[in-house]
Structure 1
Amino acid sequence: MAPYESDDSARAEEADDRFAGRHKAARYVVPVAVVGVAAATIGLVPALADSGDPDLPKVTAQQLIEKIAESDVQQLSGTVKISTDLGLPDLGGLESGLLSGAAGEHGGSSADPQSKLLELASGTHTLRVAADGPDRAKVSLLDDAAEYSVIHNGKDVWGYDSKSNEVFHSTSGESGQTGEGKAPHDVPATPKDFADEVLKSVDDTTSVTVDGTAHVAGRDAYKLVIKPRQSGTTVGAISIAVDAKTGLPLKFTLTPASGGAAVVDAGFTRVDFSRPSASTFAFTPPKGAKVTEGDDLKGGESKGDGRKDFEKALPKGHEDSADGLGGSKTVGEGWNTIVVLDTGGEGLPPGASGSTGNGDVDGFLNSLGDHVKGKFGSGTVFSTRLVNALITDDGKVYAGAVTKAALVKAADAAQ
């Protein structure tokens, strides 16, 4: 089926009218959202598609965006496949140590969602999801011999790791609000989570078209395609399969400008819109399980947690944060937005251009690092297939879903 496209000028005007009031930061939210997704490195593999394209009434891109915005699915259950391809090298087991360290920051509980869900950073995984309104949601990460679940039931949020028989418990106010089909801590878990972030920022730096139809998880769907109009970004295109009946995004695919496999590919393999059983969201700690309460961790976190400072420094929603590593700012616009941080002149972490004494760390850093020079001086660019970061020798950090050349140009322009 040939693609059909809405009129660009009409689409831009309609999109501005609909989104400008709610999303003042449209100039940079899409790239920052992409950075956030890649930082969490949570992607979903393609949903199993039936053969043949369904014959559906034609719609414009604007109509399809509105259909997504108006979608009000309150109940669902289904299965999602998860995979990530950032082009990172084999860490030789280093990632396990990093995950263990992250768990240690939160009281040593392997069931804490904030550290456990980092396992989605690589490899292929299966998620089982369920939701019943805004106060009941469950996301289960299935392994060969174990299962990890996050359950939101009313005010309670539970995390359970069957492998270690550990439980983490907090209230929604402590652990972060959960919503329809979404895990705590704002971790994207379904195609809708990803689509919501991207659609916040439809503006004149973006081309939006409808590219035919598809079958996804047994459902008829339209294919919405979002492409940067700008050069210099590492994002090639984003495709969202939208359920023709409910408007729910069923599949989300982000492909890099360099081509090849998708970096983020989100899709249901099975979905059911009937109400899940109430027992789906019931949880009682198993006998003998170690239970960690969220209250026990308050005030015990390190004030010098650089990871949290970095998260604070990234723009969120409509705000620029002045917290974090010397504060932050953004340069550029649209898909070419670059987040700039100042570490206070510390430059590269010890060993980034030499030796840490840890072979795994050295191998990882050296495999990603590319030394560059310019008017700004010299530094090292750390690259993935989507997000690149330049760390200058005088402690500036330039990061975004842009090319290495764009980072060097931004650093030069700052002089």
Structure 2
Amino acid sequence: MAPYASDENTTAGEVDEQRSRRSKAARYVVPVTVMGVAAATIGLVPALADSGDPDLPKITAQQLIEKIAKSDVQQLSGTVKISTDLGLPDLGGLESSLMSGAASPGEGGSSADPTSKLTELASGTHTLRVAVDGPEKQKLSLLENAAEYSVVHNGKDLWGYDSKSNEVYHGTASDSPKHEKEQPPATPKDFAEEALKAVDDTTSVTVDGTAQVAGRDAYKLLIKPKQSGSTVGAVTVAVDAKTGTPLKFTLTPASGGAAVVDAGFTKVSFDRPAASTFDFTPPKGAKVTEEKDSDKGGARKHAERAPKSLKSPKSPEDLGKGFGGAEGMKTIGEGWNAIATFDTGGEGVPSGEAGGDLGGFVNSLGDKVTGKFGSGTVFSTRLVNALMTDDGKVYVGMVTKDALVKAADAGK
């Protein structure tokens, strides 16, 4: 079916209030930062599409956005498949070490702590089982080879269980606002709201036909940058025609090729899950760690370097959100071409004899660039690029390498 014609090319006036305010970013090593920012995009997920092209009544982009906003689905369950292809360099296993190490538990911590475990969604393909029964009951299970990791929120209790290590993490929702924020959004509506927060007058929003997702008819909402220079090609959200619930999310890069993030329901039901779904009792012999006893100097210190949440940045200007609070955070440009910049207060990537083997290795992960600003190294993924100058300034955004160099030149 051909895309529906629509004069709704932008929704800036309708969603302007959703744009987030700029926040500060912490100092961090650029290669790990690029991975971390990319991990934050996982928060945009809802679904994987089936074949099919249902014949549905025409709808405008604004009407579809309103349909999402009015959706009030409180119960659902299903299976979600998430594939992430950030195009990170092959580090021979170091990538996994960096990602897990950035949030690994220290002495007194727990491998079942959601803060560390869910960073695994930053790369590769994963299968999740999800269940929701209102704001007080949610369960998410990450299925692994011969193992399973689950997060269960039931009333005041928050449980994490890692079957591989037979460890349990227990916190209370009333005392753990940090953990509530760190968990993936509780409903598909949350996912759609996060995606729409990136919409402003630099964005084109249209209805791009229909699709079938997990056996349900859906409209496709197409979100594209109007500006050139962004690494984002398009974002497509498949929206359930009946309930207004987002069922699919796909982010494709401007460079073409496979999606950076392709995630969605392979099965979905809007019936109330069984109450027993949200019951949890620590298995016999499991090591149980209470939140109040966890290592704040170890796991928490590392967690502060990781994204504060798995949700996407609320806007391109908010790329720094989730990395703490470094001083001097600024934003250059607007919309999808926004670039976050700050000064680390020290030297950039070590090179030559001064950097030794580490400097040579880190530099091998990026591309050396020069300009009026001097010289530096660009670290790239298929979505986020970061430039660290030799004098310690950092420029990061969902923009091309040339855009970063131009921004650094303008900053001199």
TM-score per shorter chain, which class? 0.7 to 0.9
Matched, 1:260 2:257: yes
Residues 186, 351 of structure 1: alpha-carbon distance in 2 compared, 3 angstrom cutoff = farther
Q: Which amino acid aligns with 1:53?
A: D
The residue aligned with 1:343 is: 344
The residue aligned with 1:140 is: 141
Structure 2 counterpart SS, 1:254:
strand
Q: Which amino acid aligns with 1:201?
A: A
The residue aligned with 2:289 is: 292
The residue aligned with 2:195 is: 198
Residues 405, 105 of structure 1: alpha-carbon distance in 2 compared, 3 angstrom cutoff = farther
Aligned residues of 2:36 and 2:306 also touching (Cα < 8 A): no
Aligned residues of 1:40 and 1:118 also touching (Cα < 8 A): no
**Pairwise mapping of residues 274-285 of structure 1 onto structure 2 (< 5 A)?**
274-285=271-282
* 1: CA distance, partners of 2:160 / 2:324: 29
The residue aligned with 1:330 is: 331
Q: Which moved more, 1:190-199 or 1:280-289?
A: 190-199
The residue aligned with 1:125 is: 126
* 1: CA distance, partners of 2:324 / 2:233: 32
**Pairwise mapping of residues 12-31 of structure 1 onto structure 2 (< 5 A)?**
12=10, 15-23=11-19, 25=21
Using the TM superposition, give the Cα deviation of residue 21 of structure 1 relative to its aligned residue in structure 2, in angstroms.
3.4
- Cα distance per residue 1:340-363 (max 9 Å; x no partner): 121112322689994446xxx965
* 2: CA distance, partners of 1:352 / 1:218: 60
Residues 70, 242 of structure 1: alpha-carbon distance in 2 compared, 3 angstrom cutoff = same
The residue aligned with 1:92 is: 92
Matched, 1:308 2:309: no
Pick from 230, 246, 249 the counterpart of residue 249 of structure 1. Answer: 246
Matched, 1:163 2:164: yes
Q: Which amino acid aligns with 1:133?
A: G
- The RMSD of aligned alpha carbons is 3.2
Aligned residues of 1:310 and 1:325 also touching (Cα < 8 A): no
* 1: CA distance, partners of 2:351 / 2:135: 45
* 2: CA distance, partners of 1:190 / 1:263: 22
Structure 1 counterpart SS, 2:17:
coil
Using the TM superposition, give the Cα deviation of residue 307 of structure 1 relative to its aligned residue in structure 2, in angstroms.
6.5
Report the count of equivalent residues.
393
TM-score, normalized by length of structure 2?
A: 0.86
Pick from 340, 349, 369 the counterpart of residue 372 of structure 1. Answer: 369
- By relative contact order (CA 8 Å, sep 6+), the higher-ranking structure is 2
The residue aligned with 1:29 is: none
Q: Which amino acid aligns with 2:173?
A: S
Aligned residues of 1:75 and 1:130 also touching (Cα < 8 A): yes
Aligned residues of 2:230 and 2:336 also touching (Cα < 8 A): yes
* 1: CA distance, partners of 2:337 / 2:102: 33
Structure 2 counterpart SS, 1:82:
strand
- Cα distance per residue 1:245-273 (max 9 Å; x no partner): 01011000000000000001121000000
The residue aligned with 2:67 is: 67
The residue aligned with 1:77 is: 77
Residues 110, 346 of structure 1: alpha-carbon distance in 2 compared, 3 angstrom cutoff = same
Aligned residues of 1:5 and 1:210 also touching (Cα < 8 A): yes
- Cα distance per residue 1:339-387 (max 9 Å; x no partner): 1121112322689994446xxx965x34531011111111100001000
Q: Which amino acid aligns with 2:195?
A: V
- Cα distance per residue 1:41-80 (max 9 Å; x no partner): 6386962413x31111000000001111111110000000
Q: Which moved more, 1:343-352 or 1:168-177?
A: 343-352
Structure 2 counterpart SS, 1:20:
helix
Pick from 389, 401, 404 the counterpart of residue 386 of structure 2. Answer: 389
Q: Which moved more, 1:15-24 or 1:290-299?
A: 15-24
Gaps of 5+ in 1: 27-33
Q: Which moved more, 1:185-194 or 1:210-219?
A: 185-194
* 2: CA distance, partners of 1:144 / 1:406: 42
Structure 1 counterpart SS, 2:345:
coil
Structure 2 counterpart SS, 1:233:
coil
* 1: CA distance, partners of 2:350 / 2:40: 21
The residue aligned with 2:401 is: 404
Residues 40, 281 of structure 1: alpha-carbon distance in 2 compared, 3 angstrom cutoff = same
* 1: CA distance, partners of 2:262 / 2:110: 30
* 1: CA distance, partners of 2:400 / 2:150: 37
* 1: CA distance, partners of 2:288 / 2:60: 51
Percent identity reads: 68
Aligned residues of 1:340 and 1:398 also touching (Cα < 8 A): yes
Using the TM superposition, give the Cα deviation of residue 174 of structure 1 relative to its aligned residue in structure 2, in angstroms.
4.3
Residues 370, 173 of structure 1: alpha-carbon distance in 2 compared, 3 angstrom cutoff = farther
Q: Which amino acid aligns with 1:327?
A: G
Gaps of 5+ in 2: 23-33
Q: Which amino acid aligns with 1:242?
A: V
Q: Which amino acid aligns with 2:348?
A: G
Using the TM superposition, give the Cα deviation of residue 118 of structure 1 relative to its aligned residue in structure 2, in angstroms.
1.3
Aligned residues of 1:83 and 1:124 also touching (Cα < 8 A): yes
Aligned residues of 1:240 and 1:249 also touching (Cα < 8 A): yes
* 1: CA distance, partners of 2:353 / 2:124: 25
* 1: CA distance, partners of 2:251 / 2:383: 10
* 2: CA distance, partners of 1:163 / 1:67: 41
Structure 2 counterpart SS, 1:21:
helix
Using the TM superposition, give the Cα deviation of residue 82 of structure 1 relative to its aligned residue in structure 2, in angstroms.
1.5
* 1: CA distance, partners of 2:159 / 2:227: 43
Q: Which moved more, 1:95-104 or 1:161-170?
A: 95-104
Q: Which moved more, 1:166-175 or 1:227-236?
A: 166-175
